[in-house]
Structure 1
């Protein structure tokens, strides 16, 4: 596995990531800011070129030499302003560096014309070149390796121009050393800046990835917590509340009923002849029946009603804010709905009915077991009476 050090390793002489993918990611990240910075830089560059034309006019007047120099300045300025305009639509030019490097070379070429039109200011031109070489690294956003190309072209071109104006070999060597000084300083400064910026990007990338990983872990743990909570509170086959959760909800509803003075009913039901369904059709079909019944109850009963699987083919219903008479009517509609909604399998139709034992929760009831026992007695009476009916514990009939 690639370590962070290997992934974000930097080239000492290019100031760029050794990994091409990381270098592309970095350039994409800084692209908008680099494009804005470069637009500002080349616009200032173009303005200074035209501004210095006034000095040529003061020295040359409206001579052919002035026209030549202004033409060179105008071409350079126009190309720079064209680049500034195109950067709005091609911001990746700022990070690739090729466009600005070409303009730097063209700018140097046109600048060399001054040596022959105005040989009287060679010392001034050399001073300007020294400044240009330093600015090329510090103020013009570009890749260091491409800035080296432009600087090398400027140095060689300057030496050639000075030699053609009559300078001897000793002066050329001295000039070469002089031109190398700002180039070296600028290159070192640019390298350090580029490497610092990329290290900051590496830290930013690692932080983003760590945060994303932490967020994924949090979401995974939350999903696991939800799943564990679901497993702890629901029956895995039907998705209904299991007995432990049902009793907790019963205690909550009973306290609320006492506080508000409302009625509360409890119903226990048993599917009729469920053992025969398992024996005739298999346990897989039996499981389908249980899921079918659970879904039908969820669709038929109210959202405030609580449905649980009591065990096997037995279910338990808790009906808040419902009197015994209201509960009886509600449960009978549920019974009819169940009777009229058989399970359709690939091979057959299975008719399902159930017997319901219903009771009201009384103040004297101490535990849910006392209430369930009373509802069970009503359920037993219902089975003895022929099944598929609702029996209340208070008067023992449907």
Structure 2
């Protein structure tokens, strides 16, 4: 737009205040207005650029200005023809993805320029020369653009292939991460209750015991056993027995702190590890668990089933070398509770 207006400044010294100057100025302003309207509408409707027809229409309208220049500015006829050739080549260079639309525009420009030359009385020799002058950039631009498009298509195909490979790699990485998490979960948790298995809660016990020892804090361990669990299996079936184990596991996990460790010891027995807790505090916590389990029956198709458990609690001492020794001591309290009537908390 700026170039069109700046070149218009050269018309005044040659034409003065004349009708011809007004015609050229009007054509320049009309072309500038068309470009301005297109630029403003592109923000709301980008398809005007992608489909190419609006741009082609402005290109064709711009050629009309050069037709009039040929008739009005006789002093720059050779310059007008040279610029027209440059314009044709520029169509392919600056808008390479519209080769056939650009060719149609170039054909319109060549036809219009040759018609203008013919109207001015030039013969076949001049027309032939003009045809070759304007046809050469058209042919060069056409085949250059076809090669450029072929290269772009190859690059795009390669880009699509790389994108697809990267997407597949990302999906594979996510799949492997999910598989790794699942394997880790299976290696550290009990499949029925979702609690830590023996390998994992022993590792956590050793870690917490070392930490509490360094910080001179207490740590306690509890073994819990569901009362009359065999009777539940025999009366209601093993499916209800599994539900009872999951029900108990969920209740323990929800009531204890996040820092506490809940694991399945085996069968209907559970291991509870309470870091930063002395024996008196542990008894209070476990007593609350016992009460909540007693007042929270297991819902089933056969009706609500009352569950109770017996707990053996012990404090971990410096001389306890392994978790087995601690569990064995907690088991003694558990057996005493079983002998005393079950559904109670015993210390050892």
Same fold, TM-score > 0.5, yes or no:
yes
Q: Which residue does the alignment assign to 1:80?
A: 35
Mapped to 2, the partners of 1:67 and 1:224 lie a distance apart of 77
Mapped to 1, the partners of 2:207 and 2:90 lie a distance apart of 77
- Pick from 177, 182, 185 the counterpart of residue 227 of structure 1: 182
Give the 5 Å matches for 1:374-385.
374-385=329-340
- Pick from 306, 309, 315 the counterpart of residue 354 of structure 1: 309
If the length of structure 1 is used for normalisation, what is the TM-score? 0.81
Quick one: structure 1 residues 363 and 116, their matched pair in 2 at CA, closer, same or farther if it must change by over 3 Å? Answer: closer
Q: Does 1:261 align with 2:224?
A: no
SS at structure 1 position matched to 2:262: strand
Q: Does 1:250 align with 2:205?
A: yes
Q: Does 1:157 align with 2:112?
A: yes
Q: Name the count of aligned residue pairs.
A: 348
Q: Does 1:290 align with 2:242?
A: no
Q: Does 1:210 align with 2:168?
A: no
- Pick from 262, 284, 287 the counterpart of residue 329 of structure 1: 284
Q: Does 1:110 align with 2:65?
A: yes
SS at structure 2 position matched to 1:349: coil
Mapped to 2, the partners of 1:379 and 1:74 lie a distance apart of 99
Q: Which residue does the alignment assign to 2:297?
A: 342
Q: Does 1:53 align with 2:8?
A: yes
- Residue 140 of structure 1 and its aligned partner are, at CA, apart by 5.0
* Stretches of 4+ aligned residues off by more than 6 angstroms: none
- Residue 211 of structure 1 and its aligned partner are, at CA, apart by 2.9
- Pick from 182, 187, 192 the counterpart of residue 137 of structure 2: 182
Check the 8 A contact 1:265/1:327 in 2, yes or no.
yes
Mapped to 2, the partners of 1:363 and 1:120 lie a distance apart of 109
If the length of structure 2 is used for normalisation, what is the TM-score? 0.92
Mapped to 1, the partners of 2:190 and 2:37 lie a distance apart of 72
Q: Which residue does the alignment assign to 2:327?
A: 372
**Residue ranges of structure 2 left out of the alignment (5+ in a row):** none
- Residue 323 of structure 1 and its aligned partner are, at CA, apart by 2.1
- Pick from 90, 94, 107 the counterpart of residue 49 of structure 2: 94
Check the 8 A contact 2:97/2:149 in 1, yes or no.
no
Quick one: structure 1 residues 252 and 169, their matched pair in 2 at CA, closer, same or farther if it must change by over 3 Å? Answer: same
